Amino acid sequence: MDKNTYTGLFLIMLILFGSFYLMRPSEADIKKEKARIHQDSLNKAGIKTTPVVAKTDSAKKPQVIDSAVLKSAFGAATVGTEQLITLENNDLRVKVSTQGARVQSVELKNFKTFDKKPLILFDGANNHFGLNFIAGNKKINTNDLYFKPSATGLNVTGHDSYSITFRLNYSATQYIDYVYTLSAKGYRLGLTLKLNGLDNVIADSKIVDINWQSSMLKTEKDMTMERQYSTVYFKNTDDDVDELSVTKDDAKDISDKKIQWVSFKQHFFSNVLIYKDGFTKSSLHVSLDTANKTEVKQMQASLQIPANNAGVYPLDFYYGPNEFKVLKAQGYNLDKQIDLGWGPLKYINKYAVLVVFDFLKQFGWNYGIVILLLTVLLKLVLSPLTYKSYLSMAKMRVLKPEMDEIKAKVGEDNPTLLQQEYMKLYKKAGVNPLGGCLPMVLQLPIVFAFLRFFPALFELRGESFLWMKDLSTYDDLIKFGTTIPLLGDHLSLMCLLMTISTFIYTYFNNQISGATGQMKYIGYITPVIFIVVLNKYPSGLNYYYFLANMLTFAQQYLIRLMVDDKKIHAQIQENKKKPEDKTAKKKSGFAAKMEEYMRQQQQLPKKTK
């Protein structure tokens, strides 16, 4: 292309970029359009919303309602003043709106957000809970109608429990009751739905159709990590727990099995709806708005209950921490929503690591000390494998001069023959070339298990140790003031120390094994990956990996004092002098196949000449 063409293309790009910035809509326009799209989606689903003037007991301006509307099904309930009724015990502060009799906000009184503010799971008009049905040829959603409370406030302190009823009247003898029950302590809020005398009013009175949705608020330091562990979980009556995607918008319809509970799960807290007899049909949805910096995710559930003669449906909400013992105490296998990894990792964490951790934490020590003792115990259990690995690497190091002689004699032009000669040497010396790798491979599941265990561990939340203010998230002692690709806006000091210790560990490992060439440098790739991947992971996890490296150094130092290279060399020479035992047991299938493969590879060039 000539100069004029380049100039023209440059001007076109300039115009495109200029028009993008000059003609882009304002923030107000963007919010207005989002609100319109949101309202359209609600209308299509048959859900109506009424703007809330205030969250307190303040009155709205009088609404002018057509008399025909007032005479229609539940028409009188479309007019009212929103009030927020507070239900409170030792652990929860719940605000219930008279509009829809829905839980509008929940505060966990004994916890704080990462920046020490009151911890509120959700709050505002974006949270819905209502019954959907058709009455008088009109779609009704109780979320939009005004209920009448039986009291103006509720504090359970000093009482065993307390109940408050919100009533939606159709007539004097026909109504819907929401009965909330709160105990003096705990994270459970009971909700009993009562439908009285509405069989001839509701078009399909055989189904109770519930629409429930929440926008979960940010409570943790790192929004990315919080979103990574937040989604909709559910359990069927066969005790199978499943979840929607954590990485993208997802939806699932379930009609083949009853769902006993649905959880709007965040990283460390959950909002769960339980129905013991099971929802017969469920439609679940989770979505993510990356532009929203205050809401983690938006979650929704459409649930159906078959109607019964009594018209009474007892439900339970759980608003609380994702702590193993607390969730387990609720029953219904709520603890299964804590992600401990897949396959064997889950069983290692649940039946080994968690058991030891619970034992250690009961002494009331700082969690930094608990992690240290956990690492020490783990290293003691794995010490036989560490010894075996070191011994095998020491044998390979002692054999290296003889392997170099074979390499000089055979040359590098025929790698198959070279490997055959190496195998002969290993066999005579009684050395297993994989002996140093296998013990390390057997330890890998434990390494990866901790990668899932620490991020899911509620107990570390808000716990400090040394300079780490919160072991459940990264320490950002080193701040860049700008975003750096792959690393982000900070460098975790504990992650840096862990990475340096891994470099040192790799260096000494190469000295022990006698690795040369490319193999000498492959191990240094791992710490580079660590500092990129683990920089945003919990400082408690990086602290564990750092301790594991340091304890491995100590173990190898002690083993080195116990292992004499001269004795190993003498033993190898003795093994080489022994005649081959013809009655020895048959070679393993792997060894036999390897020798056969090498023999075939050695003969192949001769056949093709």
Q: What is the per-residue DSSP string for 333-346?
A: TGGGGS---STHHH
For residue 121, what is the enclosing H or E element? strand 118-123
At residue 1 the predicted structure's pLDDT band, cuts being 50, 70 and 90, is very low
pLDDT score for 21? 39
The set of residues, in sequence order, having a beta carbon less than 8 Å from that of 9 and lying 6+ positions away, is 1
Greater confidence (565 vs 364) lies with 364
Backbone angles phi, psi at 281, to 5 degrees: -140, 135
Q: What dotted CATH number matches 50-339?
A: 2.70.98.90
Greater confidence (336 vs 426) lies with 336
Q: What is the mean pLDDT of the chain?
A: 80
Write out the two tokens for 362.
């009961």
Tell me the β-bridge partners of 214.
299
pLDDT score for 63? 45
Backbone angles phi, psi at 252, to 5 degrees: -155, 135
Tell which residue, 284, 282, 322, 289, has the closest CA to residue 300: 284
Task: Tell me the longest C-alpha to C-alpha distance in the chain.
Answer: 109
With contact defined as beta carbons under 8 Å apart, do 176 and 183 qualify?
Answer: no
Tell which residue, 453, 466, 514, has the closest CA to residue 494: 466
CA–CA distance, 541 with 498 (Å, rounded to integer): 10
Provide CATH 2.70.98.90 ranges for the chain.
50-339
pLDDT score for 600? 58
pLDDT score for 345? 87
Write out the two tokens for 112.
């704080």
The set of residues, in sequence order, having a beta carbon less than 8 Å from that of 334 and lying 6+ positions away, is 261, 263, 270, 272, 318, 327, 328
Determine if the pTM surpasses 0.85: no
CA–CA distance, 467 with 328 (Å, rounded to integer): 33
pLDDT digits (tens, 9 = 90+) for 379-421: 898 888 877 777 777 777 777 777 777 777 777 677 777 777 7
Beta strands in 388-521 (DSSP E): 478-484, 488-491
**Of 51-60, 110-119, 314-323, minimum mean pLDDT range:** 51-60
pLDDT score for 53? 30
Length of the chain: 609
Backbone angles phi, psi at 279, to 5 degrees: -75, 130
The set of residues, in sequence order, having a beta carbon less than 8 Å from that of 385 and lying 6+ positions away, is 439, 440, 442, 443
At residue 279 the predicted structure's pLDDT band, cuts being 50, 70 and 90, is very high
**How far is CA 482 from its chain centroid?**
27
At residue 46 the predicted structure's pLDDT band, cuts being 50, 70 and 90, is very low
The set of residues, in sequence order, having a beta carbon less than 8 Å from that of 428 and lying 6+ positions away, is 575, 576
Per-residue pLDDT, averaged over 593-599, amounts to 56
Write out the two tokens for 396.
């390979």
CA–CA distance, 191 with 178 (Å, rounded to integer): 7
Rg (CA), the chain: 33
| SS3 label, residue 138 | strand
pLDDT score for 221? 92
**Of 102-106, 422-426, 539-543, minimum mean pLDDT range:** 422-426
CA–CA distance, 348 with 354 (Å, rounded to integer): 8
**Of 160-169, 249-258, 264-273, minimum mean pLDDT range:** 160-169
